[in-house]
Amino acid sequence: MASATTKDLSDVAAVGGGVGDTYGEDRGSEDQLLTPWTFSVASGYSLLRDPRHNKGLAFTERERDAHYLRGLLPPTISSQQAQEKKLMKNLREYQVPLQKYMSLMDLEERNERLFYKLLIDNVEELLPIVYTPTVGEACQKYGSIFRRPQGLFISLKEKGKILEVLKNWPERGIQVIVVTDGERILGLGDLGCQGMGIPVGKLSLYTALGGVRPSACLPITIDVGTNNKQLLQDEFYIGLRQKRATGQEYADFLHEFMSAVKQNYGEKVLVQFEDFANHNAFELLAKYRSTHLVFNDDIQGTAAVVLSGVVAALKLLGGTLADQTFLFLGAGEAGTGIAELIALEMSKQAKAPVEEARKKIWLVDSKGLIVGSRKESLQQFKKPWAHEHEPVKDLLGAVKAIKPTILIGSSGVGKTFTKEVIEALCSFNKKPLIMALSNPTSQSECTAEEAYTWSKGRAIFASGSPFDPVEFEGKVFVPGQSNNAYIFPGFGLGVVMCGAIRVHDEMLLAASEALAGQVTQENFEKGLIYPPFSNIRKISADIAAKVATKAYDLGLASHLPRPVDLVKYAESCMYSPVYRMYR
Ligand SMILES: O=C([O-])CC(=O)C(=O)O
Ligand SMILES: [Mg+2]
């Protein structure tokens, strides 16, 4: 079949190469690109089957002539806006969120730009579909709804061959990998290979919210088995039917993966670890943070977004960070990650040692308050939080004993902020900050309605999964969504656009400060501690700029010279889903 050849650099150019994405139009200088490249676009029937270039009914008369499309499409020509309107109408007719999810995934498979156009223009409406909570259900049913692979599956069968597997992926200019091993998918537990929905969903936000090109994103699921008995017996399960590999076998497999990634993509590919179980999450981050460009979203991304919300909430609560007392339910990745970043910021602000700052932060796990007398039996990552106190066996007891001003739930267990807990919190706080972070909605520590009703409208509330506004005693309360989706897309964009080679905690603090700085007076007046998601691209550009600034300051950025205006530069790097004209 004939093919139209065009010297189009946009689909292979690295972010940071200064190249826009107007089809056939070079806006950057070629010598900054990874490779000079002549891109060959399919034509005719293949063009319609190529989701990256298909425009459906939007192909113009000239394009239909030039690209052998005559007769393959009905006569009508439709604009991208008209296509968007039709699809949104169709989508809204589905009653079941999972049907909307499947319909959106089909669209992505058919017409990638239209998918992203929809997602960007309707972000508040569609985020709960491609992301939490619906993506959780999609993972639970992934085997049944599976149609086509949207990322790489690397199972123990591929041991010794991971580099070859990476080479099977059709794209070369990968900048961001999101990888999971499926052991702790949201608060839903071990979903094995079906965790793939998470890297896919996270990376679609990298593009929609952070502007990283879709072709630069690679979702990966590592399959070392699953301990989920139900899945092992499920006739439609798509993963290895064996118990999880652990210990040395697991470590060696992950090491082969990390080495292959570096060998294949070099130093500047960002690897985001997602939804690993606690022990592996901490170990992998500790092991690879000094040799690879890695970021753990559940530990570091969640920490940055929560710190941002807490800092913004100080405007409503009064006082400084150091004036607050924190109590966490959940001492895993999210809980200890957030606690540590808060302690770092507190010690920076108060110019005091971080050990002092940690004393203002208390954690409760499944065995009760973490205290010094439990030190011997505690996992390593909990030890910094074992302060001196008599044992307290549950959350309610801990609330009464510690008298926190801020209560944060990150245990993955739903319905744990009970009426008694919230009433106790309100008995000594005029305005408590309550963050119910566990996902999806079914695992939230309490609902927005419960938080406002039980606190009699006094709580400032944010949750990991979205809740609708609540009316209480004639007043409307709008809950915030404290989800790492505010941070990782902009953070990732910042990292790749400056060619960072490592992630430093200071870069996370910069991202967090950038987000807090985006909350407007108008937001505060509504009781909001996060800006609306509808502004997310602007927010992401600002986060990216601040993260890149910090990377340059720390000498960790390799793309030189440093752009003068990093916000403008971030904006210029962002992918636009608007159709391009094919010459
Ligand atoms: O995916 C989300 O919505 C947030 C997150 O990382 C998690 O809950 O593990
Ligand atoms: Mg996660």
Q: How far is the CA of 295 from the centre of ligand 2 (A)?
A: 12
For residue 18, is it within any domain?
Answer: no
Ligand 1 in contact with 83 (CB < 6 A)? no
Domain boundary among 265, 292, 319: 292
- What is residue 216's predicted lDDT score, i.e. its pLDDT? 98
Identify residue 185 by its one-letter amino acid code.
I
Which residue from 174, 36, 31 is spatially nearest to 559, judged by alpha carbons? 31
Identify the pLDDT of residue 583. 80
What's the rounded Cα separation, in Å, for the pair 458 and 131?
Answer: 29
Average pLDDT of the chain is 93
Active-site residue, 202 included: yes
What CA–CA distance (Å, rounded) separates 122 from 129? 11
How many angstroms is it from 229 CA to the middle of ligand 2?
22
> Sign of the CA dihedral 478, 418, 97, 193?
positive
Say yes or no: 187 and 266 in one domain.
yes
Residues 185, 267 within the same domain: yes
- Same domain assignment for residues 475 and 522: no
Rounded mean pLDDT of 73-78? 98
pLDDT tens figures, 259-317: 999 999 999 999 999 999 999 999 999 999 999 999 999 999 999 999 999 999 999 99
The verdict on pTM exceeding 0.95 is no
**212 against 2, higher pLDDT:** 212
User: Mean pLDDT over residues 202-219, rounded?
Assistant: 98
DSSP character at residue 387:
B
The reply to whether 125 and 187 lie within a common domain is no
Structural domain range at position 126: 44-59+68-130
Residue 439 alpha carbon, nearest atom of ligand 1: 8
Query: How confident is the model over 229-247, as a mean pLDDT?
Result: 98
Same domain? 104 vs 154: no
Q: Are residues 443 and 537 in the same domain?
A: no
How far is it, in rounded angstroms, from Cα 131 to Cα 144?
19
CA 137 / ligand 2 centre spacing (Å)? 14
488-527 residue pLDDT tens: 999 999 999 999 999 999 999 999 999 999 999 999 998 8
What pLDDT is recorded for position 376? 85
In tens, the pLDDT along 476-496 reads 999 999 999 999 999 999 999
The answer on 245 and 313 residing in a single domain is: no
Could you give the strand order of the β-sheet that contains 406-409, starting from the edge strand earlier in sequence? 368-369, 361-365, 326-329, 406-409, 433-436, 460-463, 480-481
- With 60 as the cut, is the pLDDT of residue 364 above it? yes
Torsion of CA 179, 184, 190, 194, to 10 degrees: -30
Catalytic residue (choose from 202, 382, 546, 550): 202
Q: What are phi and psi of 59, to 5 degrees?
A: -60, 130
Tokens found for residue 135? 């993506």
What pLDDT score does 379 carry? Answer: 94
User: Atom 2 of ligand 1 has which residue's CA nearest to it?
Assistant: 132
ipTM of this predicted structure: 0.98
Ligand 1 pocket test, candidate residues 209, 298, 491, most atoms within 8 A of CB: 298
Residue 7, domain member (yes or no): no
Q: Final residue of a domain: which of 463, 482, 501?
A: 482
Q: Separation of 298 CA from ligand 2 center, angstroms?
A: 5
pLDDT (0 to 100) of residue 41: 65
Segment among 31-40, 221-230, 402-411, 481-490 with least mean pLDDT: 31-40
- Asked if 228 contacts 190 with a C-beta cutoff of 8 angstroms, the reply is yes
Quote the ligand 1 centre to 220 CA distance (angstroms): 16
Sequence-ordered list of residues with C-beta below 8 angstroms from that of 93, at least 6 positions apart, any chain: none
d(CA 538, CA 531): 11
- 308 CB under 6 A from ligand 1? no
Same domain, 76 and 119: yes
pLDDT tens, residue by residue, 87-138? 999 999 999 999 999 999 999 999 999 999 999 999 999 999 999 999 999 9
Q: Is the CB of 297 under 6 A from ligand 1?
A: yes
| Tens digits of residue pLDDT in 303-362 | 999 999 999 999 999 999 999 999 999 999 999 999 999 999 999 999 999 999 999 999
CATH classification of the domain holding 312: 3.40.50.720
Ligand 1 center–CA 484 separation, angstroms? 7
Residue 282 is predicted with a pLDDT of 97
Residues 112 and 169 grouped into a single domain: no
Q: Point out the domain boundary residue: 84, 109, 130.
A: 130
Let me know whether 567 and 470 are in one domain: no
pLDDT score for 375:
85
Identify the CA nearest to 208 among candidates 148, 125, 275, 268: 125
Residue 19 falls inside a structural domain: no
Query: Residue 274 falls within a domain, yes or no?
Result: yes
Q: Ligand 1: does its nearest atom lie under 6 Å from the Cβ of 481?
A: no
Indicate which atom in ligand 1 lies nearest the CA of residue 297: 6
Burial of 376 (0-12, 13-18, 19+ CB in 10 A): exposed
For residue 538, give the CATH number of its domain: 3.40.50.10380
Task: Classify residue 324: in a domain, yes or no.
Answer: yes
Measured CA to CA, the distance from residue 224 to residue 239 in angstroms comes to 9
What's the CATH number where 117 sits?
1.20.1370.30
Calpha distance 27→141 (Å, rounded): 44
DSSP state of 582: P
Tell me, yes or no, whether 450 and 503 share the same domain: no
Q: Could you tell me if the CB of 333 is within 6 A of ligand 1? A: no
In a domain? residue 581 = no
Alpha helices in 111-242 (DSSP H): 112-121, 123-130, 134-140, 142-145, 162-168, 197-208, 229-233
DSSP track, 11-77: TTPPTTS-----TT---S-GGGSSS---EEEP-HHHHHT-TTT--GGG--HHHHHHTT-TTTS-S--
Query: Whole-angstrom Cα distance, residue 228 to residue 241?
Result: 10
Residue 578 lies in a domain: no
Instruction: Say if residue 22's pLDDT is above 60.
Output: no
Mutate to test the pocket of ligand 1, among 139, 302, 491 (most ligand atoms within 8 A of CB): 302
Q: Domain total for the chain?
A: 4
Ligand 1, atom nearest to 131 Cα: 3
In a mutational test of the pocket of ligand 1, which residue from 186, 306, 463, 467 has the highest number of ligand atoms less than 8 Å from its CB?
A: 186
Active site (annotated) includes residue 382: no
**Domain presence at residue 125:** yes
Q: Which of 183, 439, 441, 486 to mutate to test the pocket of ligand 1 (most atoms within 8 A of CB)?
A: 439
- Return d(Cα 209, Cα 127) in angstroms, integer: 10
Cβ–ligand 1 distance for 365 under 6 Å, the answer no
462 in the same domain as 327: yes
Model confidence at 2: pLDDT above 80:
no
| Ligand 1 atom at shortest distance from the alpha carbon of 202 | 1
